[in-house]
């Protein structure tokens, strides 16, 4: 019995610190989540600061490669991607493909020196197939430095495809297009991969006219819009400016607005909350460095291109901006519940 008592005491001594640490972690994570909610509640959901200086409009349109291996994961891998994620009628898409070694391949000196050594292909072709409209066209990839191919014999294969206006989606809508790529390799047989792009036919466009005004301590940027198809539209933009003691302008705020619009020329507003400028200690001139209009008449949404450096304001002082928090009621309530949970678990 004495031995069992000693073992049980030793086990309790070992477990207790871990249990205490775990219990201490839960309130701290809960408290951190509550603090995050409190911070977010200071601004409306339609206008937020950009704390990492990364433009969300640009990062949201980053192209990604789609990669497929051979049977049972064998190399080489076939990767495919496009020059952009969305195209409009008459625009040309550059489609890319490459074959790279896979870890499953037998080791070689070349593999050890370069983990992504590209392989040659006898041929690479693709079919572009619309989700609802069917086959749009076929392309042949090349590696000769011509017709969109950046560099000859670099084993990054390129094909150019112009989106046919006659096969465009209905005005204001978009269609997902699958790019079905088939490669014939010199040593390892066929490889297949599926890429994609969006064929957009926006129902409204930015005219290129912008203006700004201070309204109740908030900076309102307005964009003139030419609406051809009535419906719901979404405007988003990022603002750049000086931030505290950092050198140079950088993305500092993001805003969005969605509304139903009738046909014709009209204005849409982007309101940048005044407290953002106060919190970031940003004064001076501000640039609407990225703005885009999306047709939200159906799914998928029809995307327009991103317009850069669209408008610049006059120099503004911090005193012109509101210093009052927005107080998002839902987020504040969520923070209060988390704070109560954290207090109760202590």
Q: What is the DSSP string of 113-144?
A: H-TTPEEPEEEEEEEEEETTTEEEEEEE-B-S
Q: If you average pLDDT over residues 265-277, what whole number do you get?
A: 97
Write down the domain spans for the chain.
47-57+203-324, 74-200
Preceding amide of 140 cis, omega within 30: no
Q: Return the CA Rg of the chain.
A: 27
* CATH number corresponding to 74-200: 2.60.40.1930
- pLDDT tens, position by position, 64-108: 999 999 888 888 999 999 999 999 999 999 999 999 985 544 444
- pLDDT tens, position by position, 185-235: 877 889 999 999 999 999 999 999 999 999 999 999 999 999 999 999 999
Residue that the structure tokens 């460095």 belong to: 289
Contact 287, 240 (CB under 8 A): yes
Give, in words, the CATH class of 47-57+203-324: mainly beta
Question: Which H or E run includes 101?
Answer: none
pTM across the whole model? 0.82
The CA distances from residue 161 to 65, 107, 167, in Å, are 18, 38, 13
Contact 160, 118 (CB under 8 A): no
Contact 128, 179 (CB under 8 A): yes
- pLDDT tens, position by position, 25-60: 555 888 888 788 888 889 999 999 999 989 999 898
For the chain, the first-to-last Cα distance in angstroms comes to 36
Structure tokens at 25: 């972690």
DSSP assigned state of 41: T
- pLDDT tens, position by position, 134-144: 999 999 999 99
DSSP assignment string, 133-194? TEEEEEEE-B-SS-TT-SSTTSS-EEEEEEPPGGGPPPTTEEEEEEEEEEEEESSS-EEEEE
Asked if the domains 47-57+203-324 and 74-200 are classified in one and the same CATH topology, the answer is yes
- pLDDT tens, position by position, 289-310: 999 999 999 999 999 999 999 9
**In angstroms, rounded to a whole number, what is the distance separating the alpha carbons of residues 85 and 61?**
6
What confidence score (pLDDT) does residue 7 get?
Answer: 35
**In angstroms, rounded to a whole number, what is the distance separating the alpha carbons of residues 235 and 291?**
7
């Amino acid at each position: 019995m004495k031995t069992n008592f000693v073992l049980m005491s030793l086990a309790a001594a070992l477990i207790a610190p871990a249990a205490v640490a775990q219990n201490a972690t839960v309130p701290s994570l809960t408290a951190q989540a509550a603090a995050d909610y409190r911070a977010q509640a200071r601004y409306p959901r339609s206008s937020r600061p950009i704390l990492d200086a990364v433009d969300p409009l640009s990062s949201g349109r980053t192209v990604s490669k789609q990669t497929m291996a051979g049977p049972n994961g064998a190399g080489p891998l076939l990767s495919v991607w496009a020059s952009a994620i969305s195209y409009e009628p008459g625009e040309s898409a550059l489609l890319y493909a490459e074959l790279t070694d896979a870890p499953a391949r037998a080791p070689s000196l070349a593999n050890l020196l370069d983990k992504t050594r590209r392989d040659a292909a006898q041929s690479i072709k693709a079919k572009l197939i619309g989700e609802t409209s069917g086959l749009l066209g076929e392309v042949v990839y090349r590696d000769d430095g011509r017709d969109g191919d950046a560099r000859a014999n670099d084993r990054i294969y390129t094909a150019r495809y112009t989106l046919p206006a006659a096969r465009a989606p209905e005005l204001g809508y978009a269609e997902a297009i699958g790019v079905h790529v088939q490669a014939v390799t010199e040593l390892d047989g066929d490889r297949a991969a599926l890429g994609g792009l969006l064929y957009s036919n926006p129902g409204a466009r930015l005219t290129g006219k912008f203006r700004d005004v201070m309204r109740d301590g908030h900076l309102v940027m307005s964009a003139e819009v030419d609406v051809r198809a009535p419906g719901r539209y979404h405007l988003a933009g990022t603002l750049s400016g000086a931030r505290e003691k950092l050198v140079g302008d950088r993305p500092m705020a993001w805003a969005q607005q969605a509304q139903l619009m009738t046909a014709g020329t009209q204005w849409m507003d982007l309101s940048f909350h005044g407290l953002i400028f106060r919190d970031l200690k940003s004064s001076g001139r501000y640039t609407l460095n990225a703005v885009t209009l999306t047709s939200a008449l159906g799914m998928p949404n029809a995307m327009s291109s991103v317009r850069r450096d669209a408008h610049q304001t006059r120099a503004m002082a911090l005193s012109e901006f509101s210093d009052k928090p927005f107080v998002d009621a839902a987020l504040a309530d969520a923070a209060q519940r988390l704070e109560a949970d954290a207090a109760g678990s202590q």
